[in-house]
Amino acid sequence: MESGSTPWQANQFDLREMIEESIGAMGQVFRDNDVQVETHLTDVVPQIVADRDHVMQVMFNLLSNAAKFCVRGEGRICITLAHDGGFLRVDVADNGIGIGSEDLVVIFDKFRQAGDTLTQKPKGSGLGLAISRQIVEHFGGRLWVASRLGNGATFSFTLPLPQADTGAEVRSAA
């Protein structure tokens, strides 16, 4: 992505449908981690314009992280989709181990993961959140987290709704 050689294919798609597909594709991960999933997805959403495959990559990353950090057999993940001003907002909340305040400032950095890597040995490369943020920002949205150690985490991202065509012409100031 940084080299500019990643192909971006922006097209219209239904974010609700893509979220449901992501959840279905992650079913085995949820079963393996004995995690319960619930959704609160607004019924009617306008289509957004972004690269569907890249946004699905963001969902896979957030869902797999949520499952990974939940306590096996007690894990709960809640996915919410709602309107938020001129954006659609997705929240992926879990009741996992949470993230300490010292890690909140670095988890979106490349090759960084929360926790003591010497004792907790997190799985993965530490690139998922950095890549996810880059994808979301490429399409005019933002990605952030709210968490406290021991109280789970909520990762949220927004993607802009398409601007309504008003038929007005843009005039340059001459």
Sequence-ordered list of residues with C-beta below 8 angstroms from that of 14, at least 6 positions apart, any chain: 45, 47
- Backbone φ/ψ region at 153: left (φ over 0), alpha (ψ -120 to 50), beta: beta
Q: Is 122 contained in some domain? A: yes
- Taking the C-alpha atoms of residue 42 and residue 29, their distance in angstroms, rounded to an integer, is 25
Beta bridge partners of 89: 82, 158
Weakly modelled stretches of the chain, pLDDT under 70: 1-6, 110-126, 164-174
Residue 27: the pLDDT is 96
16 Rama class: left (phi>0) / alpha (psi -120 to 50) / beta: alpha
For residue 6, is it within any domain? no
15: domain CATH number is 3.30.565.10
pLDDT value of residue 139: 95
Spatial separation of the C-alpha atoms in residues 43 and 16, rounded to whole Å: 8
* 134 phi, psi to nearest 5 deg: -60, -40
Q: How many separate domains does the chain show?
A: 1
Q: Is residue 33 part of a domain?
A: yes
Q: Domain containing 108: what range?
A: 11-160
Instruction: Say if 150 falls within a structural domain.
Output: yes
Q: Model-level pTM?
A: 0.83
In a domain, 79, yes or no: yes
